[in-house]
């Protein structure tokens, strides 16, 4: 629970702007998914091995990683592990922060919440949460079902706090 404290002020400011605070289903799904993605709010930066998957970030045009070193420079950061030069540019432009030039800013609580709220809003996850489609939220955030049992458990724990 102590890991959440640095995010409180940012969450109270940015989650309402995305409508995440409007229903218990939204807030519980957001908190549960977020807790999984960033190791219970302890890791705002992807742990770099590099693993084989991380090595594949290098040169991935679909992520905008077109320059040598982009894979590591634009590794996963923030609550939902923002990854890739193009994503840093897009979300940075949307929130008014130059994340492409300063990717480490995505690790700060305020920017981590802003990027997560932007991601949530632009993928219409409020509607998915309102329909109770928790596994679909996992697929839209993760691209698959990685960690789905843990995500389900964390969403259930959030419901225990909020409902």
Q: Is residue 2 part of a domain?
A: no
For the residues 44-49, what does the mean pLDDT come to? 93
Which residues, in sequence order, are CB contacts of 23 under 8 Å at separation 6+?
A: 126, 129, 130
Cβ 14 vs Cβ 117: under 8 Å: yes
Q: Is residue 83 part of a domain?
A: yes
For the residues 128-154, what does the mean pLDDT come to? 97
Q: Is residue 60 part of a domain?
A: yes
Q: Is residue 28 part of a domain?
A: yes
Q: Which CATH number goes with the domain that contains 132? A: 1.10.530.10
In percent, the amount of the chain with pLDDT more than 90 equals: 89
Total domains in the chain come to: 1
Catalytic-labelled residue, pool 9, 37, 104, 107: 37
What are the CA-CA distances from residue 145 to residues 29, 33, 92, 137, 151 (Å)?
15, 12, 27, 10, 9
In percent, the amount of the chain with pLDDT more than 70 equals: 98
User: Is-catalytic flag, 37?
Assistant: yes
Query: Exposure of 68 by Cβ count < 10 A (0-12 exposed, 13-18 middle, 19+ buried)?
Result: exposed
**39: domain range?**
8-162
For the residues 100-123, what does the mean pLDDT come to? 98
Could you report how far apart the first and last alpha carbons of the chain are, in Å?
A: 18
Q: Is residue 27 part of a domain?
A: yes
Rounded distance between C-alpha atoms, residue 158 and residue 80, angstroms: 17
Q: Is residue 1 part of a domain?
A: no
Rounded distance between C-alpha atoms, residue 101 and residue 121, angstroms: 24
Q: Is residue 89 part of a domain?
A: yes
Q: Which pLDDT tens digit goes with each residue over 67-99?
A: 999 999 999 999 999 999 999 999 999 999 999
pLDDT for the residue 2: 59
Q: Is residue 3 part of a domain?
A: no
């Amino acid at each position: 629970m102590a890991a959440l404290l640095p995010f409180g002020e940012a969450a109270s400011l940015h989650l309402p702007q995305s409508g995440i605070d409007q229903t218990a289903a939204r807030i519980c799904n957001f908190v549960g998914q977020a807790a999984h993605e960033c190791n219970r709010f302890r890791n705002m930066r992807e742990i770099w091995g590099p693993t084989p998957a991380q090595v594949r970030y290098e040169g991935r045009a679909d992520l905008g990683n077109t320059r040598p070193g982009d894979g590591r420079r634009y590794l996963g950061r923030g609550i939902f592990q923002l990854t890739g030069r193009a994503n840093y540019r897009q979300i940075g432009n949307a929130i008014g922060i130059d994340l492409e030039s300063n990717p480490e800013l995505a690790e700060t609580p305020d920017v981590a919440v802003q990027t997560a709220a932007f991601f949530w809003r632009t993928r219409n996850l409020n509607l998915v949460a309102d329909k109770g489609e928790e596994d679909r939220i996992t697929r839209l955030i993760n691209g698959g079902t990685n960690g789905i049992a843990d995500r389900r458990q964390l969403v259930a724990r959030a419901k225990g706090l909020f409902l």
